[in-house]
């Protein structure tokens, strides 16, 4: 399969991983819209919302709550937007949930490695 997210799960492509368990992998988006822009993906390949099972979907939402706490503590965020695209707007055809932090004051976009270091320390 030529899926970039499956390649990340399999370790063929490196990622700035924030969290991982038996079902999901969580990593920083390498083309972020905002500092801390994070993706949660299931390790098993599901195409979209209509393909994924409810247990995995609920697990992803539970992990999103944990990651929001980490982003809030480490990056001092003021809110969070969750985005999940299907069909035409879905660039990678592997289910993924975007976590996009919000900030009261506009933040200068930092290099992903620098954001990762702030979060992982």
pLDDT in tens, 86-106: 999 999 999 999 999 999 988
Residues tagged active-site: 96
Query: What is the model's pLDDT at position 25?
Result: 98
Query: What is the model's pLDDT at position 106?
Result: 81
Query: Residue 76 sits in which domain range?
Result: 4-120
Whole-model pTM: value is 0.95
Residue closest to 77 by CA, chosen among 36, 38, 17: 36
Query: What is the number of structural domains in the chain?
Result: 1
Q: Name 44's Cβ contacts closer than 8 Å, sequence gap at least 6.
A: 23, 56
For Cα atoms 37, 107, 100, give the angle at the middle one, nearest 5 degrees. Answer: 20
The domain that holds 99 is classified in CATH as 3.30.428.10
What does DSSP assign to residue 5? H
d(CA 15, CA 50): 26
pLDDT in tens, 13-29: 999 999 999 999 999 99
CB 101 within 8 A of CB 29: no
């Amino acid at each position: 399969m030529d899926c970039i997210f499956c390649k990340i799960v399999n370790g063929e492509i490196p990622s700035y991983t924030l969290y991982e368990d038996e079902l999901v992998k969580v990593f920083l988006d390498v083309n972020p819209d905002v500092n801390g822009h994070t993706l949660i993906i299931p390790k098993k390949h599901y195409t979209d919302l209509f393909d994924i099972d409810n247990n995995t979907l609920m697990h992803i939402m539970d992990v999103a709550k944990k990651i929001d706490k980490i982003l809030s503590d480490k990056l001092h965020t003021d809110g969070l937007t969750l985005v999940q695209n299907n069909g035409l707007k879905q660039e990678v055809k592997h289910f993924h949930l975007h976590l996009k932090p919000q900030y009261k004051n506009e933040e200068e976009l930092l290099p992903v490695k620098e954001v990762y270091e702030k979060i992982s320390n």
